[in-house]
Structure 1
């Protein structure tokens, strides 16, 4: 943003904060419509451009991730933030996720960060227009679209040296459940970064579908090469073929309204040209994807991704992941941590919990986990892969970089 543009925006912001209308010279290129609407919401909330930013801090709560929705959002986005940080992080930048209320669920920044506008962005703070004016997360949450706010496009004068990019995160029924953002004061190519953030958001949304219990998960795509990537759509299907939820990518692929209910739709409604035997087959594990023709002449590949999970198993695993072992709690002698030795737990449950605990104990060192549990590293990776697919990742593998074997993103 050059000096002349910055001066125009600064002057318009001062007059707008004083009660005047936005001047006509501010084209959408200078001030995009979603940002202009955010300016208006900020002013209506009583914010003036010349005030100091005030990040609201939640008070009186036991945890910044107290609700099940916040814990679920955290488990689905934390790995994506780490991968984005490896690519785009820096001393004057932070990458974080907020929930629909603007509360920061998880934030990643450098230990060397000393910028007073970046330091307050930590888990538990709120990014609200009523406190700090216009930001990319506030625009993304309000409009449900990607947002970039740079320099003088911010409503507060102090943010003129800040740039931020945010993409919305969508839930099981097309609703906005959060936003993924990068904010900083250095130089970044937002046009190039935007695609990476889009893919990260889609990957997190797929993981969110993995937390559903008692239903089949199917992946759909026109091109089978994309079935194992975040570009695949996800269908959650009941045993009788009724749809429980459809991801936003699947809605695009199937030409379904982005926010319409799918509770009355079935697989037969989506694939009305398919033989009944083929529709029955897609709800059973297959070695490869099934090709299905649609009434409009298009064809889709459908891959069976996951069978319905045992509810008690999923509940025990989720509880262990969210609570974890308390500080100083002793391990169980004999290899597996004490958390895996629950009365009535199946061998499968014990293995999942043991691997989760061991990954925490050894900071993601797969070789050490394999030695402790006396299993092969291949088995550890396979179990970690299963945990990722159901949206409950353990600590990242130290010798697996930021992805697991077979991850084709």
Structure 2
């Protein structure tokens, strides 16, 4: 008989209704499995996917506004730490209902990602053994890996959750990171626990603006870490709040709100505060006789203030990471289009960029300059902004007095300014026909002669051109020289419209970080944005996000921060039954988008989304005619 692993034996016992062999499962998991079995859950059945109405989600968000603001900032930081791991970070309330998510786009589009949405409940009765529900029940950090989940359909996931508690030990919310089991990362559990601790510290700063906040620890090097105790105390020495490390460090003492400083520490409160306010470190003993070092982290304010997670003591871990690229390029078509760039610039091939306005042509041109490794400057020329009679002089320079209104001292020209660098000819379709001949001659010889000059100068430049117009049509209309077109377009890169890019979520996240570093944008907000048409492409999206940052005064962007018009446009893509519920419209719009992409094929849509054909039909029933696979 083939030897079975411990997990195989445990799963076999679960599915047969037998007693679980001792020692095969963590105690919390075994107890959870038994509770699930006792209420009659079938481990091979489909979990009950209960999603509460959006009104309840909104109400719970309002009730936990301070927690949510701090949590979303921490979720964004956690996202940056484990980005690229096929994961989702979720904030839940104390019962295990999801309030917000921030995801890796790959995970967000998976079946699991579509199940972990605002309003979804993850208690044991609905979802069986899972980290979010178990952490809510046990009040402690929990990791559930793969087949430790009760339902077999969750076996491909690894989930890590930690409760967020207040100074009274009450669970206020839950932080969860879920990832594909094959991408399982043990260290993620540690990061989730650290993020929860940082939120707890942030809540003390946020809720005690009029208190002194003191950090203490037996070792000075730990005063700036999450291991330090935090003590919020009034000007009279009365304790307002303590964090969990502080309670642990003062074990055996009355470490709770309402006690007095001198109930905890063997020292005069007034003299200690005087030392701390002078910027010193107080060496003091607690009432149990243990020596600690203490510093002041906040001098009490007279008025409440809103704090972000970044105002509390920094973590005892490096947050340095790889430098953020200047643009996102994870769309497969775009990646293939630029795959040959290194070879092209090595051969000094002219590169032509096409795409609608706002698709990032100049950003791509600057990237080409970086790829080339050229030591010279990147010189951009807006060909449509130069008067026809001055175009050649601006590009190739002119001698003193060469023509009326010429610069008194003459000009070397933009082409010579780009020597050893890159010359970017933007809006190249607007080059006057008369000037096209001079440009073609330059491209053939790489020599420039200033207007009114006698001598030519050999230069070395990488040529990049761009336009949002179809040069082939202009050639056919004899508005653009065919020989110049072929010279410029040795390699053509077409930048896709934003609306069809598969990396839309990454683009949105990247723009938010460029506009307001550290600001979170939720998956629900991205889902609403994704459904817009975006005729202005990335430029328009940037403007929309700037507006959302102004509206979203909490330091994050969610559905409420988006303008009403965008929400109306988003809901318009859903079926009539889902239009009034932003949560339901997210899935509905996705189903209808895939349905349209498969040309009305219900079976293909169901396969692609992992749904039943009945579910798909419910959302597209009014879309006629419908087409089944194999039928015309």
Query: Normalising to structure 1: TM-score of the pair?
Result: 0.69
CA 1:198–1:66 in structure 2 vs 1: closer, same or farther (change >3 Å)?
closer
Alignment of 1:265 with 2:273, yes or no, is: no
For the pair 1:76 / 2:76, whether they are aligned, the reply is no
2 CA distance for matches of 1:365 and 1:191? 27
1:7 corresponds in structure 2 to 8
1:131 equivalent to 2:126? Answer: yes
1:233–1:248 Cα contact (<8 Å) kept: yes
CA contact 1:118–1:184 (8 Å) conserved in 2:
no
TM-aligned CA deviation for residue 188 of structure 1 = 4.4
Query: Would the alpha carbon gap of residues 302 and 107 (structure 1) be closer, same or farther in structure 2, given more than 3 Å must change?
Result: same
Task: Give CA-to-partner distance per residue, 1:312-349, whole Å, 9 cap, x none.
Answer: x538x99xxxxxxxxxxxxxxxxxxxxxxxxxxxxxxx
| Whole-angstrom CA distance in 2 between matches of 1:297 and 1:256 | 12
CA distance in 1, matches of 2:85, 2:192: 19
Q: What stretches of structure 1 move > 6 A for 4+ residues in a row? A: 359-362
Residues 252-291 of structure 1, C-alpha deviations (whole Å, 9 max, x = no match): 111258xx872341100111x2145434426x63313322
* Residue number in structure 2 paired with 1:278: 271
Q: Over residues 364-391 of structure 1, what are the superposed CA-to-partner deviations in whole Å (9 max), with x where a residue is unaligned?
A: 179xxxxxxxxxxxxxxxxxxxxxxxxx
Q: Shift in Å at residue 59 of structure 1?
A: 1.1
- Cα separation, 1, equivalents of 2:194 and 2:72: 14
Q: 2:160 aligns to what?
A: 165
- Please state how far the C-alpha of 1:362 moved relative to its aligned partner: 7.9
Note if contact 2:7-2:25 (Cα within 8 Å) is conserved in structure 1. no
Give the secondary-structure state (helix, strand or coil) at the position aligned to 2:155: helix
Task: Please say if 1:150 is aligned against 2:155.
Answer: no
- Name 1:177's counterpart in structure 2: 172
**What is the distance in 1 between the residues matched to 2:103 and 2:513?**
24
- The higher radius of gyration belongs to 2
Partners of 1:268 and 1:279 within 8 A in 2:
no
Tell me if 1:233 matches 2:229: yes
Q: Which residue of 2 aligns with 1:376?
A: none
> Per the alignment, do residues 117 and 289 of structure 1 end up closer, same or farther by CA in structure 2, a change over 3 Å counting?
same
Cα distance in structure 1, aligned partners of 2:117 and 2:278: 44
Question: CA distance change for structure 1 residues 65 and 94 in 2, over 3 Å: closer, same or farther?
Answer: farther
What is aligned with 1:97?
A: 91
Comparing 78-87 with 204-213, which one deviates more in the overlay? 78-87
Compute the displacement of 1:45 (Å). 3.9
2:32 aligns with one of 28, 32, 38: 38
Give the drift of 1:203: 1.0
Normalising by structure 2, report the TM-score: 0.46
Contact 1:46 1:130 in 2 (8 A): no
Quote the Cα distance in structure 2 between the aligned partners of 1:170 and 1:256: 20
Contact 1:64 1:124 in 2 (8 A): no
Give the corresponding residue for 1:353: none
Q: Secondary structure at the match of 1:206?
A: helix
Work out the CA distance in 2 between the residues paired with 1:197 and 1:50.
Answer: 29
Instruction: State the partner residue of 2:42.
Output: 48
Q: Matched residues in 2 for 1:77 and 1:109: separation? A: 15
Which of 283, 289, 293 does residue 291 from structure 1 map onto?
Answer: 283
Partner of 1:121: 116
C-alpha spacing 1:76/1:235, structure 2 compared with 1 (3 Å): same
Once the two structures are superposed, the pairs formed by residues 381-392 of structure 1 within 5 Å of their partners are none
Cα offset, 1:200, TM superposition: 1.6
CA distance in 1 between partners of 2:264 and 2:90 (Å): 36
Work out whether 1:209 is the aligned partner of 2:227. Answer: no
Provide the alpha-carbon RMSD of the alignment. 3.1
Deviates further, 108-117 or 186-195: 186-195
In structure 2, what is the equivalent of residue 302 of structure 1?
294
The alpha-carbon deviation at position 361 of structure 1 amounts to 12
Match of 2:248 in 1: 252
What is aligned with 1:219? 215
- Using the TM superposition, name which of 52-61 and 94-103 deviates more: 52-61
| Closer/same/farther in 2, CA of residues 362 and 165 from structure 1, 3 Å limit | closer
Match of 2:515 among 360, 363, 366: 363
Is the alpha carbon distance of 1:212 and 1:120 closer, same or farther for their aligned partners in structure 2, counting shifts above 3 Å?
A: same
